[in-house]
């Protein structure tokens, strides 16, 4: 394989991994704080993509599309937090998990009923090579992700909000006793997670130039695999696992071809990691 093809593959892998990172980061943040698996997060991502597509149809501006996707995602996320997840916190965790899968199925199917089962195109980014084999969409996705991740890093590590999140993730009761407003922390976590998911939806729609109702399905289940590989609740482990998976998939398809069953192998790997390294690939100790 020549260097040229390799850079193209790495570019694609990095872009796909960035999308995984943006969505999985929200999943792991929510899990860290509330201990619920938010499968409907992938529905938020699909709604964000559709909102962005709609705004782009109307205005032709990619910036407005990103903004609309982020706002739509955030509103849906805040609604789900207030209506669904918070009231279920006192129940056994499988209650929220099962209901969340139901919500995800309903959102995807609702998009199909409203906008039709076919793909809509979102031609915001011209796929012209810019640097070597790297294309403009790849650079935009990777660049936007890098900026957003830096933003998240700053919020989590440097602000009072981030301190509150970390305190709640470590020990919610003690944090509450010390004056951390737990409901507010949970609302803001859903807000941040859903903003990122909405943006990721628009970015991925523009990257592949397609938006379709079941686009969340891959992320809904692969997202679970990624957060487990990264160590449930471990933010930076999740980012690393997402980028790693994006790169590996890109290389695997190139070297092994499409006959290779990526989902099957990804999930077998997931089960093995669960059995032998349940704390994730990048965490030192069990939480």
Partner 1 sequence: MYVVTILELLLIYALLTLSLNLVVGLAGQVNLGHAAFFGIGAYAGGTLLKAGAPFPVALAAGAAAATALGLVLGAVSLRLRGDYLAIATIGFNFAVVAALLYTPYFGGAYGLSGIPRGLAPSTYLLALLATFGLAVFIHERVRNSESGYAFVALRDSEVAAEALGLNVNRFKLVAFALSTALAGVAGVFYAAYIGTLRPEDFGFPLSVTLMAMLVVGGMGGLWGPILGAFLLGGFAQAFAFVHNYQAVLYGLLLALVMRYRPQGILGRVS
Comparing CB distances to partner 1, the nearer of 39 and 182 is 39
Comparing CB distances to partner 1, the nearer of 11 and 32 is 32
* Minimum distance from residue 236 beta carbon to partner 1 (Å): 20
* Minimum distance from residue 85 beta carbon to partner 1 (Å): 10
Q: Each residue of 136-175: b (16+ CB within 10 Å) or e? A: ebbbbbbebbeebbeebeeebeeeeeeebbbbbbeebeeb
Comparing CB distances to partner 1, the nearer of 259 and 284 is 259
Specify burial of residue 126 (Cβ count, 10 A radius: 0-12, 13-18, 19+): exposed
* Minimum distance from residue 269 beta carbon to partner 1 (Å): 9
Of 83, 131, 102, nearest in space to 37 by CA: 102
Of 189, 160, 199, nearest in space to 81 by CA: 189
* Minimum distance from residue 15 beta carbon to partner 1 (Å): 24
Chain residues in the site for partner 1 (CB under 8 A)? 31, 35, 37, 83-84, 87-88, 91, 93-110, 113, 221, 224-225, 228, 232, 259, 261, 263-265, 267-268, 270-271, 274-275, 278
Residue 46, number of CB atoms within 10 A of its CB: 30
Comparing CB distances to partner 1, the nearer of 45 and 207 is 45
> Residue 108 in contact with residue 217, Cβ under 8 Å?
yes
* Minimum distance from residue 103 beta carbon to partner 1 (Å): 5
Comparing CB distances to partner 1, the nearer of 104 and 190 is 104
> Residue 133 in contact with residue 7, Cβ under 8 Å?
yes
């Amino acid at each position: 394989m020549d260097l040229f093809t390799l850079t193209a593959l790495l570019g694609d892998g990095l872009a796909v991994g960035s999308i995984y990172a943006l969505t999985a980061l929200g999943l792991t943040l929510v899990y860290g704080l509330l201990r619920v698996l938010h499968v409907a997060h992938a529905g938020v991502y699909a709604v964000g993509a559709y909102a962005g597509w709609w705004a782009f149809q109307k205005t032709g501006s990619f910036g407005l599309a990103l903004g609309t996707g982020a706002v739509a995602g955030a509103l849906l996320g805040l609604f789900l937090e207030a209506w669904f997840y918070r009231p279920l916190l006192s129940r056994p965790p499988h209650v929220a998990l099962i209901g969340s899968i139901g919500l995800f199925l309903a959102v995807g199917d609702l998009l199909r009923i409203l906008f039709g089962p076919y793909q809509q195109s979102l031609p915001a980014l011209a796929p012209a090579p810019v640097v070597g084999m790297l294309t403009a969409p790849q650079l935009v996705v990777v660049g936007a992700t890098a900026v957003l991740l830096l933003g998240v890093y700053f919020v989590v590590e440097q602000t009072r909000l981030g301190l509150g999140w970390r305190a709640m993730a470590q020990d919610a009761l003690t944090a509450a006793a010390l004056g951390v407003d737990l409901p507010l922390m949970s609302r803001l976590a859903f807000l941040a997670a859903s903003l990122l998911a909405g943006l990721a939806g628009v970015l991925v729609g523009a990257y592949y130039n397609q938006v379709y109702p079941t686009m969340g399905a891959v992320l809904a289940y692969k997202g679970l695999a990624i957060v487990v590989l990264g160590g449930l609740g471990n933010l930076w482990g999740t980012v690393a696992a997402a980028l790693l998976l994006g790169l590996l998939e890109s290389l695997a398809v190139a070297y092994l071809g499409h006959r290779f069953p990526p989902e099957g192998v990804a999930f077998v790997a997931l089960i093995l990691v669960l059995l032998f390294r349940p704390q994730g690939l990048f965490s030192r100790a069990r939480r």
